[in-house]
Amino acid sequence: MTELDATRAYYDTVAEEYATRVPGLFAEDVTGRAMLGAFAEEVRADGGLPVADVGCGPGHVTAHLDGLGLGVHGVDASPRMVDVARRRHPGLRFEAGTMDALGLPDGGLGGIVAWWSILHTAPELLPSLFVEFRRVLAPGGRLLLGFHAGNGEPYTGQPRPEGVAYAIHLLSPDHVGQQLEEAGFTVTARLTAAGDRWPQVCLLARAGT
């Protein structure tokens, strides 16, 4: 089983309880929502091209971006999560898919949000992921990343009774910033906040022309 397969299986298993728990945590995340607000303002100022919320989970961030006036759709590798998102937010579009192959035309998006989703990607695979993000973004398009900070070390959570477990990677903000620059982005803002277990980092970047 690949890491992607394991992640998909885990979120398929926990989709319903995750959808019940996480939106409440998001409502308490004042600093994170401030970064999402800055992202939305910049996308609107650039003409308001569509936005993708990749690794959207149950769709709470997608719905928040919609409320900020963006045309947005969600993408998630877990079909069960997509089902939950569609049920909870019937007016929005959600699709099953992976971040490394979005299946979107070149340069069609004004923004991408990956809100605590790139941390399921091994650090050595992030450069190709960021190249894919750059491909689908219009020149000047915005990218907002949220992740747990560390030095690249993996963490595996407790397995479920069904036998599936998730793995995350604690990512170095400096290293992620360097990888973004190599993929054609300029980091324009960085926020670090205390987390329950690890520091939380948001990076806002702009695609080159």
Q: At residue 14, does pLDDT exceed 80?
A: yes
Average pLDDT over residues 200-205: 97
| Strand spans (E) along 35-108 | 51-54, 72-76, 93-96
pLDDT tens digit sequence for 23-34: 899 999 999 999
Burial class of residue 208, CB neighbours in 10 A (0-12, 13-18, 19+):
middle
pLDDT tens digit sequence for 136-168: 999 999 999 999 999 877 777 666 666 677 788
What pLDDT was estimated at residue 155? 77
Burial class of residue 75, CB neighbours in 10 A (0-12, 13-18, 19+):
buried
What share of the chain has pLDDT > 70, as a percent?
95
58 and 35 in contact (C-beta within 8 Å)?
A: no
Q: At residue 207, does pLDDT exceed 90?
A: yes
What pLDDT was estimated at residue 1? 63
Burial class of residue 199, CB neighbours in 10 A (0-12, 13-18, 19+):
middle
Domain holding 191, by residue range, is 3-207
pLDDT tens digit sequence for 101-126: 999 999 999 999 999 999 999 889 99
CATH number at residue 100: 3.40.50.150
Angstrom distance (rounded) from CA 141 to CA 128: 18
Q: Minimal CA–CA distance to 112: which of 148, 140, 91, 90?
A: 140
Looking at the chain, how many residues does it have? Answer: 209
Average pLDDT value over all residues in the chain:
93
* Dihedral sign computed on CA atoms, order 24, 14, 79, 165: positive
Average pLDDT over residues 54-64: 97
Q: Minimal CA–CA distance to 32: which of 183, 176, 177, 148?
A: 148
Q: How many domains does the chain have?
A: 1
**For residue 97, what are the CA distances in angstroms to 4, 25, 53, 56, 103?**
11, 25, 11, 10, 8
